[in-house]
Amino acid sequence: MSGDRLTIFDTTLRDGEQAPGFSLRIDEKLKIAYQLRSLGVDIIEAGFPIASEADAEAVRMIATSIRGPVIAALARCHPQDIERAAWALSPAPRRRIHVFIATSDLHLERKLRMTREACLRAAMTAVRLARQFTDDVQFSAEDATRTDPDFLWRIVEAVIQSGAKTINLPDTVGYSTPDEIAAFFRGVISRVPSSDQVTFSAHCHDDLGLAVANTLAAIGAGARQVECTVNGVGERAGNASLEEVVMATRVRADRLPFATGINTREIFPSSQLLSALTGEGVQANKAIVGRNAFAHEAGIHQDGMLKDRRTYEIMRPEEVGVPQATLVLGKHSGRHAVQRRCEQLGFTLDRQTLDRVYRGVIAHADREKVVSDADLAKIVTRECGIELPAAGVAATVPDFHATPAERGYGHGV
């Protein structure tokens, strides 16, 4: 199936939760599901019901409570898995059973102890069974990118004929490069006779740091569903980051002319909520949602930002829900940034006073690395004998460096 609309399949609550340290309680999964609905994802993969009673109950609660997105659940090609997933999903008016089986010879021989023919039969039987519970069945060929092409083409055609509507071809161990992924998807789509009857999906892992690049390459080669997670969480090094894939299509629409249903202003709140509930923050320099993504310390950058933010920002922080760009005062800052922050705090300084304050800022930064608003106020009063403004320095611009809990994204959200 072709077109310029991408389906965003969010697997934060399934693949993301499988990452060590990211386990969530049922109520926490429901909170995230509500936020994913606000974010505008098309499909929420709510869990793997056969894995545990709690996981099955979480999927069922999400299926009962969330309206709008399709609710999906994962199942191996085992009847009991599929029946459990069907039970958990039954309250959802829009539901998808996502069945999978490994197809590479490495996985078949070393993990499943299964022949190719047995794999083929299991996949077809599973899809047919899943179709008894819903018309929306997705099939995933685990380790697809390391699967013999002839066998992969054969099994994909077989599951399409058995009733699968979406074909997911994962780069399960993050082994591929973008040029390989593009050739891979083009090869499958061109060689499978019924490829025009289904949507092809990309699910890329980040073991080599290429998950987003590989996902974008797959889109260019014909995939129209992307499987991703908030903050890029997931097994091992994680999955393709939802925020990076979506904003790449927004910022570079000239190269990636694809639309999504994502409300980008909910990206940062989604990231903060996930971090708060899991206790796992994102790295400072993480694209889009890291605390330094819209922060500038270098004097040259700060000067450019003060004159025209486009000099050093390719997207507005407000577009992704970040309160505003931050000019971080540190040892690399320039006088213009110090002056601007002083003005924002209510201090008006002449040139000589500004020079003394600037030297004080640099000296403080050499010792403490970063100069906070409170630090700056102390420097002004110490260096110049100026009293604090009546309003003080509290309740100024929202602090982009605050922790998720300080921003209000705690367990009570």
Per DSSP (E only), the strands in 68-224 are 70-76, 95-102, 137-142, 166-171, 199-204
- Has this prediction a pTM greater than 0.95? no
Do 268 and 360 lie in one domain? The reply is no
Distance of CA 246 to the CA centre of its chain: 9
Count Cα atoms within 13 angstroms, Cβ side, for 359.
Answer: 8
Domain with 301 in it: 295-384
Q: Which of these three, 229, 245, 278, is where a domain ends? A: 278
CATH at 205? 3.20.20.70
Q: Are the CB atoms for 200 and 189 separated by under 8 Å?
A: yes
Do 65 and 139 lie in one domain? The reply is yes
Farthest CA pair distance, the chain: 84
The candidate with the shortest Cα–Cα distance to 328, out of 355, 354, 352, 364, is 364
pLDDT of residue 386: 54
Do 243 and 332 lie in one domain? The reply is no
The candidate with the shortest Cα–Cα distance to 229, out of 191, 280, 163, is 280
pLDDT of residue 85: 98
Do 348 and 241 lie in one domain? The reply is no
Do 116 and 221 lie in one domain? The reply is yes
Question: Using only C-alpha atoms, what is the Rg of the chain?
Answer: 25
In a domain, 52, yes or no: yes
In a domain, 400, yes or no: no
The candidate with the shortest Cα–Cα distance to 32, out of 277, 289, 279, is 277
Please list the alpha-helical segments (H only) found in 66-115: 79-89, 105-107
Do 309 and 171 lie in one domain? The reply is no
**How deeply is 367 buried, as exposed, middle or buried, from its count of CB atoms within 10 A (0-12, 13-18, 19+)?**
exposed
pLDDT of residue 284: 83
> What is the Cα–Cα distance from 56 to 271, expressed in whole angstroms?
25
Q: Are the CB atoms for 375 and 362 separated by under 8 Å?
A: no
> What is the Cα–Cα distance from 197 to 200, expressed in whole angstroms?
10
Q: Are the CB atoms for 13 and 33 separated by under 8 Å?
A: yes
Q: Divide the 413 residues of the chain into consecutive groups of 10 and give the mean pLDDT of each group.
A: 81 91 92 97 98 96 98 98 98 98 97 97 98 98 98 98 98 98 98 98 98 98 98 95 97 96 96 91 88 66 65 81 71 80 80 88 84 83 63 39 39 30
State the total domains in the chain.
2
Q: Are the CB atoms for 277 and 24 separated by under 8 Å?
A: yes
In a domain, 405, yes or no: no
pLDDT of residue 408: 41
